[in-house]
Amino acid sequence: RKSIFLLMRTNIYLTGNLKFCLLILNQPFNKGHFHCLWSRAALRACADGGANHLYHITEGSQESFLPDYISGDFDSIQPEVMEYYKAKGCELIETMDQDLTDFTKCLQILQKKIEKKGLQVDVIVTLGGLGGRFDQTMASVETLFHATNITPSPVIVIQECSLIYLLQSGKHKLRVDTGLEGSWCGLIPIGNPCESVTTTGLRWNLTNQVLKFGTLVSTSNTYDNSGIVTIETDKPLLWTMAIK
């Protein structure tokens, strides 16, 4: 597999070909992340109440920050926010499926639009989804499990200083030398035990290690100086890291 930039240095983005889409969920998010990501995204969407946060964080200049679409069952979006974006011509897509989260449904729509426009997308960045209600954080992780059946693009979730990314079984190579990495990282066997995990590039590496809640979970890990982390896993495994 090709190595993945989970984080993108601004100058890489200015000169390079890294293309991504931005998805905003219904949780407060960091202005710093937002401005850096919004301007470079190929497509921008809000999942239901994510539109509220977008509206408030862009107060005074909402017109310059219009999402391509807002999707969801619209039980979280504030009426005045909905009216505003509707009047500005943003597409509003109602999705009533109660078995899927707003995030999952938003991702399904995003993939359709990516295909329709023939976009090449290297990563889908999701803002919000890791803070606040614990059940919602878990719902975000659940969506990452479904994402592999929805889109071939990697999906990452960012909130405040945390990033999560679900590694499918197999070998992975992550570049961690963009300067945007914080100090900590971890490998979380959420959903299922992993019988054999092997890593390089970490301060505390694993060799054919079992990762399992109740046995061993890798948290408060960090990096060696190589700038590259490789992870081989037999089952889906959640990678988490600090971002500045």
DSSP state of 212: B
| Contacts (CB under 8 A) with a second copy, residues 133-162 | 133-139, 141-142, 145-146, 160-162
CB closer to a second copy, 73 vs 91: 73
Tell whether residue 40 is a contact of a second copy (CB under 8 A).
no
HSE at residue 166, side-chain half, CA atoms within 13 A, is 21
Determine the Cα–Cα distance for residues 86 and 92; give it in Å rounded to an integer.
7
Q: Which of 189, 197, 209, 229 binds a second copy (CB under 8 A)?
A: 189
Q: Quick one: which segment of 81-89, 105-113, 206-214, 226-234 binds a second copy (CB under 8 A)?
A: 206-214
Determine the Cα–Cα distance for residues 105 and 167; give it in Å rounded to an integer.
21
Determine the Cα–Cα distance for residues 107 and 154; give it in Å rounded to an integer.
12
Indicate if the alpha-carbon torsion angle 71, 75, 81, 83 is positive or negative. positive
| Contacts (CB under 8 A) with a second copy, residues 92-111 | 101
The least CB distance from residue 191 to a second copy, in Å, is 3
Q: Residues with Cβ < 8 Å from 142, sequence gap 6 or more?
A: 101, 104
The least CB distance from residue 138 to a second copy, in Å, is 5
CB closer to a second copy, 90 vs 237: 237
Among 24, 130, 126, 28, CA closest to 85:
24
CB closer to a second copy, 35 vs 212: 212
Tell whether residue 212 is a contact of a second copy (CB under 8 A).
yes
Residues interacting with a second copy, by CB under 8 A? 101, 130-139, 141-142, 145-146, 160-164, 184-186, 188-193, 212-214, 216-217, 219-221, 236, 240, 242
